Structure 1
Amino acid sequence: MKKSQNSIPVGKVNRASRFVRTGIQVGGNYVKHYAKRLVDPSTTRDELHNDNAEDIYNSLSELKGSALKVAQMMSMDKNMLPRAYAEKFQLSQYSAPPLSGPLVVKTFREAFGKAPQAMFDRFNMEAMNAASIGQVHEAWKDGTRFAVKIQYPGVANSISSDLKMVRPFAIRLLNLNEKEVDKYMAEVEEKLIEETDYELELRRGQEIAQACGHLHDLDFPTYYPEFSSRRILTMDWMEGLHLDDFLKTHPSQETRNRLGQALWDFYEYQIHTLQQVHADPHPGNFLMRANGTLGVIDFGCVKVLPPQFYRNYFALLYKNTLGDQERLDRILYELEFFTPQDTEKEKDFFRDIFLTMIELLGRPFSQPTFDFSNDAYFEEIYALSEKLSAMPEIRESKVARGVKDTLYVNRTYFGLYSILNLLGATVHTEATPMKESA
């Protein structure tokens, strides 16, 4: 049983103080590391990464909210982080320290004027899962079993200040271009604010579940507005296992493929038909079952695709687009991968990079089926990412390339690919409902 948390630091001063203490701990870890290297030059950075990952994760877990959400997002991009950080930050997906019972009761009283025990026949005060923004409890009423998601106190009010405090950690850990971080910060803040609005999540969950109800092997919960509020969301309890636990049951390849196909079809339909997408594809948001069906349990983060962006972004998957340099360059300008200030030499440089990226990341779409268990493919992605991050032309660029909409779409596909890789699924990928635009 995880140790519960009796309070969450609130207010800019309290939360900033926690970040400062963490910074001091991280600094101490570096001092310890370099002292050891003086004695033993063969000392690796593994222990440093482990110590830093532990201290940073513990701090973010205590703060909850957007600070912990950033750790979750970083853990999805495993190629961007040393292994120690990726493994530790993965815990934020559904294994963070839960809130204590009194805080749960307080949240209910503020929302409904009564304790959860007065609303349900039975309410389990011990959280079943605890993640970055909220935690989930079991409840029963009139024979129905519910999942009740309760948002951590103060999360919605601390997003902007938290992101400013997390920014230096993210830049240092990921070796990011500061211009790009600043450009995308507003998009991240907007999505995090949406994730704290459980009334919005309820509406989106109902709408997308209804629109995708015809797809095979997918299950969605029923939501209950009468037991929900802006900070509490109640839905059916869905059976199933998160990915790590599911893989321990040694599912057959047939079951893996079936689940992978359901996941792929779900995302393709959202993107190409609904043109809005569940943009948080991490394992904590899905429940997998031995019969090959998949439960989708979280619609807090949904990215709506602007029509012009959608047409340009997906036109890059077609060979005749890539073979028409005039059209390609027009799209790269509209997607802000090119800027009006670029010289011909700079355009040639970035065009070559984007063509390499498009070929690699779009490879699953270019063939009838794709084996996502192929680790060599992911090693190519990791190697390219490492190569690009080391290029001074990119690292020291004075402009951020790519419209803000690319952030969550790229994140969506990388998260989807990562789950399919862990699942070891082979999926039919070529067929897509998108029609190439003129």
Structure 2
Amino acid sequence: MKIQTSVPTSKVARASQFMKAGVKVGGNYIKHYSKKLIDPSLSKDELHKDNAADIYEALSELKGSALKMAQMLSMDRGLLPVAYSDKFAMAQYSAPPLSGPLVVKTFITYFGKSPSQLFDKFTIEAVNAASIGQVHQAWKDGKKLAVKVQYPGVADAVSSDLRIAKPLAVRLLNLNERDIDRYMGEVESKLLEETDYELELKRSIEISEACAHIPDVVFPKYYPELSSKRILTMDWLDGMHLKEFMKTNPSQDVRNQIGQALWDFYDFQIHTLRQVHADPHPGNFLMRPDGSMGVIDFGCVKVIPDFYYDNYFRLVNPDTLEDPVLTEEIFNNLEFLTPEDSPKDRVFFSDLFKEMTLMLAEPFAVDTFDFGDDRYFNKVYAFAEGLANVQELKNSKVARGSQDGLYVNRTYYGLYAMLNELKARVVTTKPEWLRSTKVLV
């Protein structure tokens, strides 16, 4: 694997990297359309593959928020062509690692000691490298540890990176610049939190202790004395990432068991703690043959405001959508509808969001849901793809949906996607007030 000896930290150096990616993307388009003149039937597959490789190469060298954006996009099947999502998925745990001297320098900066002085044994080569930091194995007092080391400069570059990346995102994803601006503050605040390992340490301990009773969910112990603002030390957890685990051909019972653990973990956080591990990509979960699952990385935690929670989850109860007055009130509260909407717009967007709500809430409408049913997911992806062509959304003068929905929806999207890949059948536990009062035949 390629080893990185430095990370661009100045605004000029990082902006140049984005520009370089933009130039390569432009060149790829020229090459594609030149070929298309000769062969009009040529698809965009090669173009997407070339663009994905060039953009990922640039972002992986920048690390931090730039690479985190790629990781987030890799989870959104339907938003990106497969070539992009497959390539960007590498950001979850297979980014190019930093060289040993940079790792040692980070320890000297925050502890005044090298890793070999702090631990009985420390592997200078990273075993995993993701968007914000990389993981090393270490041993102390007979315990095997995981030591996460943050890439230098990523915390200071979050805000400027997002500003620089916006034009590339608008062009690549054909997104509305107004919509991106609406949610930029929420994304920026979460990325800044993810670079604060002292905050992550606090949340990791609090949430793992609160969730310790959930069957088949395992958490590491954390070590404050071996952690700092840019270094985080915890017990080493054995297990496999989802794709690797599925290659072992686990039984349906084991997949159901892990799927149930995932559902119960998120159900408890959202409905009891009102704060949630909002980064449910496969790199943060370790699957085991016995049906248990290790959970790591509480860097991205969404605290759910009561007002948003009450309105969002009232929509999950199927009885709500049968009450047009209540539904309109909630759509206003969640900013699906706005005061600027004409009567025609209100009818159109109400119907659109009712359809979306019914579809995404299907797992809650039954006691047991088969997440291995690809028909459901194909329907959801087709709906999402269709939204991109809805002229009323394109022409709307306002962005729709509360900022708080960004990470809540992302959480459920990631959870559903993982359960689908597991092909798990799950008992969809939920608060009693989310159940319909009608008797289902």
Q: Same fold (TM over 0.5)?
A: yes
Q: Does 1:345 align with 2:344?
A: yes
Which of 430, 433, 437 is 2:431 aligned to? 433
Summarize the alignment of residues 222-237 of structure 1 with structure 2, pairs less than 5 Å apart: 222-237=221-236
1:266 maps to amino acid: F
Question: Which position in structure 2 is the counterpart of 1:263?
Answer: 262
Question: SS where residue 435 of structure 1 aligns?
Answer: helix
2:303 maps to amino acid: V
1:352-387, CA deviations, whole angstroms, 9 ceiling, x for partnerless residues? 000100011000100111111111111111111111
Preserved CA contact (<8 Å) 1:96 1:131 = yes
1:320 maps to amino acid: D
Q: Which whole-Å CA distance do the structure 2 matches of 1:341 and 1:132 have between them?
A: 40
Q: Which whole-Å CA distance do the structure 1 matches of 2:206 and 2:433 have between them?
A: 24
- Shift of residue 309 of structure 1? 0.6
Q: Which whole-Å CA distance do the structure 2 matches of 1:332 and 1:194 have between them?
A: 30
- Shift of residue 171 of structure 1? 2.1
1:163-193, CA deviations, whole angstroms, 9 ceiling, x for partnerless residues? 1122122222322222111000000000000
1:315-360, CA deviations, whole angstroms, 9 ceiling, x for partnerless residues? 0011221111111111111111111111111010000000100011
Preserved CA contact (<8 Å) 2:318 2:365 = no
Question: Which position in structure 2 is the counterpart of 1:304?
Answer: 303
Summarize the alignment of residues 174-185 of structure 1 with structure 2, pairs less than 5 Å apart: 174-185=173-184
Summarize the alignment of residues 10-409 of structure 1 with structure 2, pairs less than 5 Å apart: 10-409=9-408
- Shift of residue 434 of structure 1? 5.5
Range with bigger deviation, 314-323 or 259-268: 314-323
Q: Which whole-Å CA distance do the structure 1 matches of 2:66 and 2:351 have between them?
A: 36
Q: Which whole-Å CA distance do the structure 1 matches of 2:317 and 2:250 have between them?
A: 35
Question: SS where residue 433 of structure 2 aligns?
Answer: coil
1:381-400, CA deviations, whole angstroms, 9 ceiling, x for partnerless residues? 11111111111111222101
Preserved CA contact (<8 Å) 1:176 1:395 = no
TM-score (norm 2): 0.97
Question: SS where residue 388 of structure 2 aligns?
Answer: helix
- Shift of residue 435 of structure 1? 3.0
1:134-177, CA deviations, whole angstroms, 9 ceiling, x for partnerless residues? 00000001101100000000000000111112212222232222
1:193-229, CA deviations, whole angstroms, 9 ceiling, x for partnerless residues? 0000001011101111111111100000000000000
Q: Which whole-Å CA distance do the structure 1 matches of 2:424 and 2:164 have between them?
A: 39
2:407 maps to amino acid: Y
1:46-82, CA deviations, whole angstroms, 9 ceiling, x for partnerless residues? 0000000000000000000000000000000011110
Q: Which whole-Å CA distance do the structure 2 matches of 1:146 and 1:433 have between them?
A: 37
Preserved CA contact (<8 Å) 2:316 2:434 = no
1:264-323, CA deviations, whole angstroms, 9 ceiling, x for partnerless residues? 000000000001000000000000000000000110000001001100000001122111
| Deviant stretches of 4+, over 4 Å | none
Q: Which whole-Å CA distance do the structure 1 matches of 2:432 and 2:191 have between them?
A: 29
- Shift of residue 436 of structure 1? 5.2
Question: SS where residue 80 of structure 1 aligns?
Answer: coil
Cα RMSD after superposing both structures: 1.0
Count residues with an aligned counterpart. Answer: 435
Question: Which position in structure 2 is the counterpart of 1:411?
Answer: 410
1:27-55, CA deviations, whole angstroms, 9 ceiling, x for partnerless residues? 10000001101111111100000000000
Q: Which whole-Å CA distance do the structure 1 matches of 2:408 and 2:173 have between them?
A: 19
Range with bigger deviation, 319-328 or 13-22: 319-328
Preserved CA contact (<8 Å) 1:127 1:136 = yes
Question: Which position in structure 1 is the counterpart of 2:438?
Answer: none
1:153 maps to amino acid: P
Q: Which whole-Å CA distance do the structure 2 matches of 1:187 and 1:324 have between them?
A: 32
Question: SS where residue 364 of structure 1 aligns?
Answer: helix
Q: Which whole-Å CA distance do the structure 2 matches of 1:338 and 1:422 have between them?
A: 34
- Which blocks of at least 5 consecutive residues in structure 1 are unaligned? none
Preserved CA contact (<8 Å) 1:253 1:425 = yes
1:86 maps to amino acid: S
1:143 maps to amino acid: G
Question: SS where residue 396 of structure 2 aligns?
Answer: coil
Preserved CA contact (<8 Å) 2:134 2:149 = yes
Question: SS where residue 377 of structure 1 aligns?
Answer: helix
- Which blocks of at least 5 consecutive residues in structure 2 are unaligned? 436-441
Q: Which whole-Å CA distance do the structure 2 matches of 1:405 and 1:38 have between them?
A: 46
Q: Which whole-Å CA distance do the structure 2 matches of 1:434 and 1:308 have between them?
A: 19
- Shift of residue 21 of structure 1? 1.0
Range with bigger deviation, 316-325 or 69-78: 316-325
- The share of aligned pairs that are identical, in percent, is 61
